[in-house]
């Protein structure tokens, strides 16, 4: 099967710091790929390289067969790859609806049409009742949902979610997990960074483990959970507690 | 809809003012007010919507003023044609500057904008052949505006300036109204709130900021040439000086930045305060003016408009 996203031997250095070293994996259409690893493993750096916030120091990134190294973030988004942020970035002085409209304008020039698309996405994440509220006034759970609605409004072919469950309580996390599963059912490709192993096992088709910038393992959720290397690198050092 | 009706009513009421008021001083205050409104709205497109706090807009103001003046003086081109050439020049210069300075963010952009305006001021002081240097240019007599053979105005009374100023202020307000609701408007506000998030949602930040700057500079240049002809004299420090830039920023900040009505409110407040003080406390007017501005900014960080709507919301909440 042709991969939608292909990451080939990607390295990213910041001066002497090796944030990513020779990372290779591919994402087939329709799957949910989990990207896990201890803090500082280089997950977010990899996201930043893929979405154009900085070019990889070495290696190549292909999206739908096209080499996208050095493409600007807006171009990457126009190609159909949209990302959320680990630290949520609501457009605070715009309303919830306007936030989603900004995303929707990626595919249309008509503000009226963008509003319709935006509202539809707000309904999907169940924020439609909050449409008129300023985004800066939302609690964290709703902010995370807004991030999701905003990227969905860009009508992407693939979304990259950077810890959309970080900082949420159990009930809120559950809602997000259900949203991810819903989106998965609709066939939208996803790459998910997450620390919560239970959420990862439930949502992902395949998992890639990063450690100190390198790919440590790749496999099905079952394989990863039973991999002793992953246990030491990732689960072991957290002492069994949720990271 | 209600606001639109209200705007039309106010505009019509203003349009009949010269029929009843003959005092040139009163008309003068109105014209100053229109200039201030237009300047605040012009700045607001870039500073308010896109959040790029330019303190160098005197550059575009001055190019508008000098452009139209020089074309009239040296090429005998009537201002109502020359203005558009000056506006075009200003946009070209602005885009060249934007291409360089929009790589900078926040305070660095502010500093760069000041530097650019200073460079242009010094250039205008030193290109004597073109600008007459520090001596400035006194406006040549304006050719009368004719329609066919009937003379519409010979530019002696203040009335034609009143109507042109009113039209210009309304135009700048309309520009803000439409930009805010357009795709570009959403892009600019997204960039203001969080440039990286905007970028990741498919918004090209540099292109959008340049579009805002082009619109902002065009309006500013238009106001600059109008004000120059109204005053009848220009010199580098007056039109390219930082005072003009700061005035534009203050009108928007005091009224309510990033809103369409804010600069109108800011202009009314600042023009009335400054004229009122000038006639009452004479020499101390700049000092009092400065203190008042500081107090307003401290008490109402969201501007007058934000202050009022906050009060209304609180009142509604307690009921």
pLDDT tens per residue across span A76-134: 999 999 999 999 999 999 999 999 999 999 999 999 999 999 999 999 999 999 999 99
Domain count, chain A: 2
**Distance between CA atoms of residues B102 and B53, nearest Å:** 11
Chain A residues with a Cβ under 8 Å from any Cβ in chain B: 51, 53, 72-74, 77-78, 82-83, 85, 89-94, 98, 101-103, 105-106, 109, 111, 114, 150-151, 154
Question: Crossing angle for the helix pair B107-126 and B242-255, nearest 10 degrees?
Answer: 140
What average pLDDT does the segment A211-237 reach?
84
Residues 6+ apart with CB under 8 A from A144: A84, A88, A164, A165, A167, A168, A172, A176
Of A155, A171, A196, the position where a domain reaches its end is A155
Same domain, yes or no, for A175 and A64?
A: yes
- Do A73 and B186 make contact, defined as CB atoms within 8 angstroms? no
CA-nearest of A89, A57, A10 to B199 is A89
Give B-chain residues touching A89 at CB under 8 angstroms. Answer: 194, 196-197
The two structure tokens encoding residue B52: 């790029």
Q: Give the model's pLDDT for residue A237.
A: 53
Give B-chain residues touching A159 at CB under 8 angstroms. Answer: none
For A84-102, b where at least 16 C-beta lie within 10 A, e where not — what string?
A: bbbebbbbeebbbbbbbbb
**pLDDT classification of B292: cutoffs 50, 70, 90:** confident
Give B-chain residues touching A92 at CB under 8 angstroms. Answer: 193
Same domain, yes or no, for A139 and A214?
A: no
Report the CATH number that the domain containing residue A217 is assigned in CATH.
Answer: 3.40.50.300
Q: Give the model's pLDDT for residue A236.
A: 56
Q: Are B305 and B261 spatial neighbours (Cβ–Cβ below 8 Å)? A: yes
Q: Give the model's pLDDT for residue B11.
A: 86
Same domain, yes or no, for A15 and A119?
A: no
Q: Are A54 and A12 spatial neighbours (Cβ–Cβ below 8 Å)? A: yes
Q: What spatial distance separates the first Cα and last Cα of chain B, rounded to whole Å? A: 26
Chain B residues with a Cβ under 8 Å from any Cβ in chain A: 181-183, 186-187, 189-190, 192-194, 196-205, 258
Structural domain includes residue A86 = no
Mean pLDDT score of chain A, rounded to an integer? Answer: 91
How distant is the Cα of A214 from the closest Cα of chain B, in angstroms? 25
Of A115, A140, A155, the position where a domain reaches its end is A155
pLDDT > 50? residue A243: no
Q: Give the chain B residue nearest A160 (alpha carbons).
A: B200
**Coil, helix or strand at residue A191:** strand
pLDDT > 60? residue B264: yes
pLDDT > 70? residue A36: yes
pLDDT > 90? residue A150: yes
- Do A91 and B193 make contact, defined as CB atoms within 8 angstroms? yes
What average pLDDT does the segment B47-64 reach?
95
Same domain, yes or no, for A63 and A163?
A: yes
Structural domain includes residue A55 = yes
Spell out the alpha helix ranges (H) of B76-106: 79-101
Structural domain includes residue A175 = yes
Residues 6+ apart with CB under 8 A from A95: A131, A132, A133, A134, A135
- Do B186 and A72 make contact, defined as CB atoms within 8 angstroms? no
Measure Cα distances from A41 to A10, A160, A175 in Å: 14, 17, 27
Same domain, yes or no, for A222 and A169?
A: yes
Mean pLDDT score of chain B, rounded to an integer? Answer: 90
pTM: 0.90
Same domain, yes or no, for A175 and A230?
A: yes
Of A132, A155, A178, the position where a domain reaches its end is A155
Same domain, yes or no, for A165 and A142?
A: no
Same domain, yes or no, for A107 and A56?
A: no
Same domain, yes or no, for A40 and A8?
A: yes
Give A-chain residues touching B181 at CB under 8 angstroms. Answer: 111
What average pLDDT does the segment B38-52 reach?
96
Could you tell me the domains of chain B?
27-139+152-318 (1.10.3470)
Same domain, yes or no, for A235 and A201?
A: yes
Same domain, yes or no, for A183 and A64?
A: yes
Which of A50, A98, A105 best probes binding to B when mutated, by most B CB atoms within 10 angstroms?
A105
Structural domain includes residue A111 = yes
How distant is the Cα of A90 from the closest Cα of chain B, in angstroms? 8
Residue A218 lies in domain: 1-80+159-243
**Coil, helix or strand at residue A51:** coil
Same domain, yes or no, for A9 and A34?
A: yes
- Do B190 and A53 make contact, defined as CB atoms within 8 angstroms? no
Give B-chain residues touching A83 at CB under 8 angstroms. Answer: 200
């Amino acid at each position: 099967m042709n991969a939608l996203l292909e990451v080939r031997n990607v390295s990213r250095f910041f001066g002497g710091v090796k944030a990513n070293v020779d990372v290779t994996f591919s994402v087939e259409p329709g799957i949910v790929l989990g990207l896990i690893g201890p803090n500082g493993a280089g997950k977010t750096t990899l996201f930043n390289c893929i979405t154009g916030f900085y070019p990889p120091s070495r290696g190549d990134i292909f999206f739908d067969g096209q080499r996208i190294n050095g493409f600007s973030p807006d171009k990457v988004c126009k190609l159909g790859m949209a990302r959320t942020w680990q630290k949520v970035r609501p457009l605070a002085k715009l309303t919830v609806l306007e936030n989603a409209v900004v995303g929707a304008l990626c595919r249309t020039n008509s503000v009226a049409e963008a509003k319709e698309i935006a509202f539809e996405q707000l309904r999907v994440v169940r924020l439609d009742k909050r449409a008129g509220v300023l985004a800066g006034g939302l609690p964290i759970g709703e902010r995370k949902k807004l991030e999701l609605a905003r990227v969905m409004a860009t009508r992407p072919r693939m979304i990259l979610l950077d810890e959309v469950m970080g900082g949420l309580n159990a009930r809120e996390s559950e809602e997000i997990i259900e949203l991810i599963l819903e989106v998965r059912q609709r066939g939208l490709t996803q790459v998910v960074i997450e620390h919560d192993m239970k959420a990862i096992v439930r949502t992902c088709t395949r998992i890639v483990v990063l450690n100190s910038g390198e790919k440590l393992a790749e496999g099905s959720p079952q394989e990863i959970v039973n991999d002793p290397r992953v246990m030491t690198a990732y689960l072991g050092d957290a002492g069994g507690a949720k990271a | 809809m209600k606001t639109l009706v209200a705007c039309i009513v106010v505009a019509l009421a203003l349009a009949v003012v010269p029929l009843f008021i003959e005092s040139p001083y009163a008309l003068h205050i109105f014209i100053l007010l229109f200039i201030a409104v237009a300047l605040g709205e012009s700045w607001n497109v870039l500073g308010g919507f896109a959040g790029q706090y330019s303190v160098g807009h005197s550059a575009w103001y001055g190019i508008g003023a000098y452009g139209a003046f020089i074309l009239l003086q040296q090429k005998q081109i009537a201002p109502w044609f020359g203005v558009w050439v000056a506006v075009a020049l200003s946009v070209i210069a602005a885009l060249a500057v934007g291409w360089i300075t929009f790589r900078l963010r926040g305070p660095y952009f502010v500093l760069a904008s000041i530097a650019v305006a200073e460079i242009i001021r010094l250039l205008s002081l030193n290109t004597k052949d073109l600008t007459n240097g520090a001596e400035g240019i006194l406006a040549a007599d304006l050719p009368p505006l004719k329609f066919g053979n009937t003379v519409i105005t010979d530019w002696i009374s203040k009335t034609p300036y009143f109507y042109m100023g009113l039209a210009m202020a309304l135009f700048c307000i309309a520009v803000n109204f439409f930009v805010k609701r357009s795709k570009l408007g959403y892009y600019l506000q997204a960039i203001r709130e969080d440039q990286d998030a905007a970028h990741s949602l498919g918004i090209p930040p540099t292109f959008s900021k340049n579009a805002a700057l082009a619109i902002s500079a065009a309006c500013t240049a238009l106001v600059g040439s109008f004000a120059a002809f109204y005053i009848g004299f220009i010199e580098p420090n007056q039109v390219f000086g930082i005072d003009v830039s700061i005035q534009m920023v203050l009108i928007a900040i005091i009224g309510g930045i990033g809103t369409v009505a804010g600069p109108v409110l800011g202009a009314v407040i600042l023009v009335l305060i400054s004229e009122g003080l000038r006639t009452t406390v004479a020499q101390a007017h700049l000092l009092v003016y400065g203190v008042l501005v500081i107090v307003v900014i401290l008490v109402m960080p969201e501007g007058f408009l934000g202050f009022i709507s906050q009060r209304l919301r609180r009142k509604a909440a307690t009921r």
